[in-house]
Amino acid sequence: MTRQYFGTDGIRGKVGEPPLTVDFVLNLASAAARALAPQGGCVLIGKDTRLSGYMFEAALEAGFIAAGVDAMLIGPLPTPGIAHMTRHLRCNFGVVISASHNPFYDNGIKFFDGQGCKLSDEDEVRIEAELVKPPVTCESKSLGRASRVDKLRKAYQDFCIGTMPKNISLSGMKIVIDCAHGAGYKVAPRMLTDVGAEIVPLGCSPNGCNINQGCGATSPELLQLTVPGVRATVGIALDGDGDRLVMVDHLGRKVDGDQLLYVIAAHRHAKGQLQGPVVGTLMTNYGLERALRERGIGFHRAAVGDRYVLEKLREVGGVLGGESSGHLLMLDHTSTGDAMVVALQVLGIMQETGRPLAELTADLTLLPQALVNVNVPRRFNPLEVPSVRDVLGKIEKQLSSRGRAVLRASGTEALIRVMIEAEDAVEARSLAKQLADAVRAAV
């Protein structure tokens, strides 16, 4: 099933350039209405804080109403919040206007089905098939209606808080929360104060152009300085649409997705509450795999991308998985990655055990990683080149059980990604250069 517009996470691009134009988005709304709610119904529309969000929100609203679908507009809310509220409000489907961790001049459109799950490939193909037709406008009596449902955001806040262990309060915790000037800037601080924490807010003053700018999960340096500077217990960083999480311990050290997976998995396993194996990706640090194996916890790898982690979790019967970027899935609580749900679980573990985050991650030793992106004139599979395979084989033999080599083509750019993990950082960089040079020579 080939798709022209949908990528691994909806439709994304630079605002004003195809396909991220007003006329395309209006047409997209009409096509989605015909494909997902042909008999009418309702759609929930949410967004992050990008200036272009107003424009695309209006285009989607017009397209859905003209096609006979009621549009409920909830305003800025994390992507997982839209997924939850779509299901909670019994909408036919939900839409998020966001480009996640990208700069403000990008934007995107993501869809969820009525159960709060990402659309299947088949659904995306059906929408694209409708895109070749012009937008429809129903007769007046059949038009949809629009309503603002901003106040219903509290239902999402209550849901997230409800995922914490009962009788756990964050009283006594001082938490720095960095919302990346993004979709979580209202709800995330309120959740933490509602469960008793003292908060120090960062990245909570969006102006339409500062989303992800020098802050949030993709740029946690300010958070790393602030946490020890204000003597906080811990720091939390979200990305622009609130589905990725990075934390900072009281010493100012970054705690990534692999480390957070370990904290949650180890705690659940010790209590006999871990369901199934943990799932990571090809890029998950080998140190996590080794640490979980030593504890008797199963581990599987999926292709890079949260949708592939989700598929693998369902295949192996697990509920906990994710990526080192901090996009983590907890399927016993949510249908998609939710930074605040994961953060509340980690904070709950800290309170329950009385151990700081630095101590909870102390048993996990991550291997140094060397990453090299090789620009190529066209996309190709480097594993099909004999000379590259030979170099890769020699490197894997040298590393043996001490590390890993990953070689893959980017799914979105004309890049070949080279990653080496080894116990010695110098060796990792040297081997990554060797493999990268072999790819360049093959181009």
Q: How far apart are CA 99 and CA 413, in angstroms?
A: 16
Q: Note the pLDDT of residue 411.
A: 64
Is 11-152's fold the same as 173-360's?
Answer: yes
3-state secondary structure 187-236: HHHHHHHHCCCEEEEECCCCCCCCCCCCCCCCCCHHHHHHHHHCCCCEEE
- Residue pLDDT, tens place only, 311-335: 999 999 999 999 999 999 999 999 9
Count of beta carbons in the 10 Å neighbourhood of residue 296: 7
Angstrom CA distances, 305 to 55, 78, 302, 308, stand at 29, 19, 8, 6
- Please tell me whether residue 138 adopts helix, strand or coil conformation: coil
Under DSSP, the state recorded for 120 is P
The string of DSSP letters for 360-402 reads HTTT--PPPEEEEEEE-SS---GGG-HHHHHHHHHHHHHHGGG
Strand partners, 405: 420
- Residue pLDDT, tens place only, 346-376: 999 999 999 999 999 999 999 999 999 999 8
Q: Note the pLDDT of residue 400.
A: 85
Q: Note the pLDDT of residue 166.
A: 85
Q: What is this structure's pTM?
A: 0.92
H or E stretch covering 270: helix 257-270
Q: Note the pLDDT of residue 336.
A: 92
Assign a CATH topology to domain 11-152: Alpha-D-Glucose-1,6-Bisphosphate; Chain A, domain 3 (3.40.120)
Q: How far apart are CA 441 and CA 310, in angstroms?
A: 36
Residues in the chain with pLDDT values less than 70: 1, 411-413
Q: Note the pLDDT of residue 409.
A: 85
In CATH, what number does 173-360 get?
3.40.120.10
Domain 369-442 CATH superfamily? Alpha-D-phosphohexomutase, C-terminal domain (3.30.310.50)
Catalytic residues: 100
Q: Note the pLDDT of residue 1.
A: 57
Per domain, the residue ranges of the chain are 11-152, 173-360, 369-442
